Amino acid sequence: MWRRSASFILDNRNAAPPQPPAAAKPDTLTLSSAPPPTAAMADALQNPNPNISAYYQTRAAHHGVVTSDWLAQAQAAVGPRSVEGGDGSSSAADSGGVGGGGGGGVGRPFSVIDEFNNWRKQPDLAEAVAAIRALAAVIRNSEATTMMELEIELKKASDSLKAWDTTSISLTAGCDLFMRYVTRTSALEYEEFNSAKSRLIERAEKFGEISQKARRIIAMLSQDFIFDGCTILVHGFSRVVLEVLKTAVQNKKVFRVFCTEGRPDRSGLRLANELAKLDVPVKILIDSAVAYTMDEVDMVLVGADGVVESGGIINLMGTYQIALVAHSMNKPVYVAAESYKFARLYPLDQKDMAPALRPIDFGVPIPSKVEVETSARDYTPPQYLTLLFTDLGVLTPSVVSDELIQLYL
């Protein structure tokens, strides 16, 4: 039986899915008593450091391993309950936020960006989910009395969100997705305003679950591709990839994993740590050892920060060269990505994207005359990818554009 949504793969499972950790939490405890939105929202909160990609900063904070006690830190980050607890008492986190202007006082006007930064701090929450929850908070705090007003307000909020961090593709995609839902859902037109509003909020809250579910779907779908005795090369840390490998372990598959180091935030070490806990044989490679080990590898599995219209992916720096090496050695390259990462972008080459920069610590001082390439991501063209594992099913790269056209046009 084939259903439209690939989620059928979940229905086939007997075991109950694990509790979605993040979704259960009610939104209302943050900023529930926020004052009305003001025009200040538009001009408020310029990104303090536009030269550094906030998205990759957050990633580094969540997945990066910079300090020596990374083991303990990672362990602390894994336990979702403990994270919930830490984040639940949240107004402190608000003030220390990347973009937070001042203290999280009660008298401060509501800001969608603060809200978003608040959400994005949770390591288990995808950026798109954070964006959608932030927009939901906009709806909740809105004083609009008509659908049109609400739409305009939302549009403003999503534009300011997008402008705040142009490097985050999931943020943009999440905003677009939600805006599309608001503007296109015909059911909303015939409804009374308040119930439409609550429907939107409900929808936004559900999105966290959807994102969790998407990961499980992807994990289930990709099991057919992981065979006993295979060697998988992974790059960087990706929640989806981790979920895939976890599920493979649960399914008693025997495989080993090569993790790249993932400089500069060394997120690969984090993944290696997670996998070691699952008793998966792991080997850590430095990023430059990919070609050296490629003939031992059976498949390359990477996550994606964004999937673009051509079917290519934008991902952590180094993905492109791994894909190139794998392609030249005829190894399959699989990408695990949720469908909310699909973005209406079409980079033609590496330079054709908004630069996402990130400081790199080389350990030694770099002479001022020496230039440092600080870009955090690269673009892998579709011809080097074999398949994309998404919650819509296992897709070839060319289907991505099909899905995007149907979604957004």
Partner 1 sequence: MDPRRIPHAAIKPKVRQVGFVPRNAPPEPPARSQSYPAEASSPPLSDSPAGNSLSPVMIPPPRHLSDNLAAYRTPAVPVPETARRRAGHSPVVGSYDPAESLLGTSSPAPSPPSSGRLIVDGEFSEESWLLRRSNSAKFASSFPGGGFDLTAVKAVSAADLASDANVKKTTEKSKGSALELKNEAIPSSKPLKAKTTKSERRALQESQRAAKVAGRVEGNKSTAAASGRVTYAKAAKQPTQKKDVASAAPSVAASEKKGSDRAPEKDKKKDAPAPRMQFDDKSRVEKAKRRAVVNQTEARNRVELFRHLPQYEQGTQLPDLESKFFLHEPMHPAIYKVGLQYLAGDISGGNARCIAMLQAFQEAIKDYVTPTEKNLNRDLTAKISSYVSFYTECRPLSISMGNAIRFIKNRIAKLPLSLSESDAKTLLCSDIDRFINEKIIVADQVIVRHATTKIRDGDVLLTYGASCIVEMILLYAHEIGKQFRVVVIDSRPKLEGQSLLHRLIAKGLSCTYTHINAVSYIMHEVTGVFLGASSVLSNGTVYSRVGTASVAMVANAFRVPVIICCEAYKFHERVQLDSICFNELGDPDAILKVPGRMDVNYLSNLQNRENLQLLNLMYDATPSEYVSMIVTDYGMIPPTSVPVIVREYRREQLLI
* Nearest-approach distance from CB 214 to partner 1, in angstroms: 8
* Nearest-approach distance from CB 308 to partner 1, in angstroms: 10
| Pairwise CA distance, residues 30 & 32, whole Å | 5
Give the pair of three-digit tokens for residue 10.
């979940």
Strands 333-336 and 299-302: parallel
* Nearest-approach distance from CB 390 to partner 1, in angstroms: 9
| Between 19 and 398, CB nearer to partner 1 | 398
Q: What is the full DSSP assignment across 178-242? A: HHHHHHH-HHHHTS-HHHHHHHHHHHHHHHHHHHHHHHHHHHHHGGGG--TTEEEEE-S--HHHH
| Between 143 and 349, CB nearer to partner 1 | 349
Name the residues that contact partner 1, by CB under 8 A. 1-5, 177, 180-181, 184-187, 203, 210, 309-311, 339-340, 344, 346, 348-349, 351-352, 382, 391-392, 398, 401-407, 409
Phi, psi of 22 (to 5 degrees): -90, -25
* Nearest-approach distance from CB 326 to partner 1, in angstroms: 19
| Between 22 and 257, CB nearer to partner 1 | 22
* Nearest-approach distance from CB 180 to partner 1, in angstroms: 7
* Nearest-approach distance from CB 181 to partner 1, in angstroms: 5
Beta-bridge mates of residue 284: 259
The answer to whether residues 200 and 139 touch, using CB atoms and an 8 Å cutoff, is yes
| Between 67 and 186, CB nearer to partner 1 | 186
Residue 121, SS3? coil
Beta-bridge mates of residue 233: 258, 300
Give the pair of three-digit tokens for residue 37.
């939105």
